[in-house]
Amino acid sequence: MSGRLSFGAGSCNTIMAFIQGWILDGLFMDKQEIINAIEQIRRIVGQMGLDVSGTTRDRYARSTSLRPTRPLGVAYPTTVEQVQGLARTASQFRLALHPVSRGRNWGYGDATAPTHDQLILDLSRMNRIVEAHERSAYVVIEPGVSQGELYDYLRDRDIPLCLDCTGAGRDASLVGNALERGFGHTPYSDHFRNLCGLQVVLADGRILETGMCRFLGARTGHVYPHGLGPSLDGLFAQSNLGIVTRAGLWLMPRPEAFCTCFVRTTRDEDLASIVDRVARLRLHGVIRSAVHIGNDFRVMAARMRYPWGRAGNRTPLPDELRSRLRHEMAIGRWNMAAGLYGDVRTVRAAKRTLQITLRPLRVMMIDDRKLAFAKGLGHLLGSLSWGRRLNQLIAAMEPTYRLLKGEPVDEPLHGAAWRVRGPDDARPRDPRDIHAGLLWVSPVLPATGEAAREVVNIVTPIYARHQFEPLLSFTFVNDRALVCVCQISFDVRENAESNDAQRCYHEISESLRKSGFFPYRTHSAISGFCEPCAARERDQFADRSSVFQEVAEQIKGALDPAGTISPRQ
């Protein structure tokens, strides 16, 4: 039989172990069917395109969250035809397929499927940059293209287009993040709204092209998103209705002038006033970028791990140490960062308006020239206390500066390691490598000072009760709404802390929802939690009525009747 399947000897052993595993899981009627499924998948993706080894299954079962799911194996298609074939095969053999772009969905499920024993469709080898259109300022890319890859591509060819990056690091997928409705820092921060023209493989292997792309010869597929007739693009956001294999993505043309605006506050209560003033500036079009406002912990975490020693191994971080660290690291109680982009004149005008509007807060305006000057000065005066302070300030601001400029950086990702024990020498790009635990509750709130204050007041005591630090940030995701990312950091090896994290997560989610603040995004696998928690989680999403859920299921039933793509149960 192995001859027929033409496996090498090593691979054959793997396959036999694999078959055992599948049989134990009760997935197939008989051995022959398994052989057939594997054979068919291998025929599609080739020998190297399917990995069912225990090591790989374990590696893909790692997660920054809790109780991750273990997959059946991992397929690595390289073309849309292979994805079509895999979808058809999966439907035929009633296998569950879970597509991931690059599996860097940190804190929201990473590369794990909603349930155990799904076949992961890892699209990271589909990483072609199909087109970069300088004049109309867009690229057409496959889901495997990472932030770092596209950044390097544009830089190496001197194409004057800027990325809008998230803090997920250089290795994270652009398309994957956009489909999960991630957001970045520039005026192009609403990633989903900057997609234009999708190619989607449906569960039965058909290829759907959205918007104008569906018309043969259309010249507007990547410049006009709506198409003619109903728009289907929204169906593929945060959903399991199809596998996106290609997307047009709008990029910002490199601005003539660029300037960042940093504000650090000393008082907690300044948050509300910043939010209200920035909201006005955004609504009036003076600021078009996302605007992030992070608290002290959030900024600290990007630059250090929990100071176990200085805190005498106690958690949460004592107030007195907290303010000492703020001072040492030149961090504000709240830290706002915004970018201004445009021609020299309008950027200059916006700077002035911003300074006046945010008065009496001290606004630091940094551009390339000022940053270079400050760095030179810091280098020169590094031995003096004033110089050291300057260097701290630069260290605090530079990663954000680069993000605002469209450069993917790994620093924000280090924040995931806040509570990780052990030596802080490795700065890996994958938080799973250092056992970083990460849970995010991400409520949307109206962009008003009161609402921001209310969210802080809801979550802070819950964090304290569970002995965590509130790592909070607020982001203007449009002119009218903020997303608050409430981060819970833990060490996945620490059982007690992990359980506390989970309880803290649920309590925060529940309290926020009770106050009307529902999340913009949630964990891909609610089932990743323990059953009572998962049930509570599901209950909390009880709608005003069940119609939305019903309609979503009717559409799922129409497009994927066998439940092939990422079934939830």
Other beta carbons less than 10 A from residue 428's beta carbon = 14
Q: Supply the minimum distance, in Å, between the C-beta of residue 441 and a second copy.
A: 13
Q: Supply the minimum distance, in Å, between the C-beta of residue 107 and a second copy.
A: 16
Instruction: Report the DSSP pairing between strands 119-122 and 73-75.
Output: parallel
Interface positions, 478-517, toward a second copy (CB under 8 A): 478-481, 513-517
Q: Supply the minimum distance, in Å, between the C-beta of residue 138 and a second copy.
A: 7
Task: Please report whether residue 250 would count as binding a second copy according to CB under 8 A.
Answer: yes
Interface positions, 435-474, toward a second copy (CB under 8 A): 444-448, 451
492, 437 in Cβ contact below 8 A? yes
Please identify, using beta-carbon distances, which residue of 436 and 447 lies nearer to a second copy. Answer: 447
503, 466 in Cβ contact below 8 A? yes
Nearest CA to 238 out of 499, 518, 502 is that of 518
Strand ranges across the sheet with 138-141: 129-133, 138-141, 243-250, 195-201, 207-209
CA 221/CA 197 separation, integer angstroms = 6
- Give the rounded distance of the alpha carbon of 108 from its chain centre: 8
Q: Which residues contact 429 (CB under 8 A, 6 or more apart)?
A: 169, 170, 171, 410, 413
Task: Please report whether residue 308 would count as binding a second copy according to CB under 8 A.
Answer: no
Please identify, using beta-carbon distances, which residue of 53 and 511 lies nearer to a second copy. Answer: 511
Interface positions, 263-292, toward a second copy (CB under 8 A): 283-286, 288
Interface positions, 536-565, toward a second copy (CB under 8 A): 541-545, 547-548, 550-552, 554-555, 557-559
Q: Would you call 559 helix, strand, or coil by DSSP?
A: helix
Beta bridge partners of 440: 487
Task: Please report whether residue 220 would count as binding a second copy according to CB under 8 A.
Answer: yes
Tokens found for residue 20: 């055992």
Interface positions, 323-362, toward a second copy (CB under 8 A): 341-343, 345-346, 348-350, 352-353
Q: Supply the minimum distance, in Å, between the C-beta of residue 356 and a second copy.
A: 9
Nearest CA to 185 out of 443, 477, 415 is that of 477
Q: Supply the minimum distance, in Å, between the C-beta of residue 490 and a second copy.
A: 24
Nearest CA to 526 out of 515, 516, 537 is that of 537
Task: Please report whether residue 138 would count as binding a second copy according to CB under 8 A.
Answer: yes
Q: Supply the minimum distance, in Å, between the C-beta of residue 423 and a second copy.
A: 39
Please identify, using beta-carbon distances, which residue of 38 and 208 lies nearer to a second copy. Answer: 208
Q: Give the C-alpha distances (Å, rounded to integers) separating 244 from 98, 209, 541.
A: 12, 10, 26
Task: Please report whether residue 114 would count as binding a second copy according to CB under 8 A.
Answer: no
239: buried, middle or exposed (CB in 10 Å: 19+, 13-18, 0-12)? middle
Interface positions, 183-212, toward a second copy (CB under 8 A): 187, 192-193, 202, 206-210, 212
Q: Supply the minimum distance, in Å, between the C-beta of residue 185 and a second copy.
A: 15
List 5, 19, 80, 237, residue binding a second copy (CB under 8 A): 237
Tokens found for residue 540: 């909390």
CA 314/CA 497 separation, integer angstroms = 12
Select the span of 38-46, 223-231, 300-308, 322-330 touching a second copy (CB under 8 A).
223-231
CA 522/CA 67 separation, integer angstroms = 16
Task: Please report whether residue 137 would count as binding a second copy according to CB under 8 A.
Answer: yes
Interface positions, 356-415, toward a second copy (CB under 8 A): none
Q: Supply the minimum distance, in Å, between the C-beta of residue 346 and a second copy.
A: 4
Number of residues interacting with a second copy: please give it, by CB under 8 A.
96
Q: Supply the minimum distance, in Å, between the C-beta of residue 246 and a second copy.
A: 13
Nearest CA to 167 out of 509, 487, 518 is that of 487
Please identify, using beta-carbon distances, which residue of 415 and 449 lies nearer to a second copy. Answer: 449
Task: Please report whether residue 522 would count as binding a second copy according to CB under 8 A.
Answer: yes
Beta bridge partners of 250: 138
Q: Supply the minimum distance, in Å, between the C-beta of residue 487 and a second copy.
A: 19
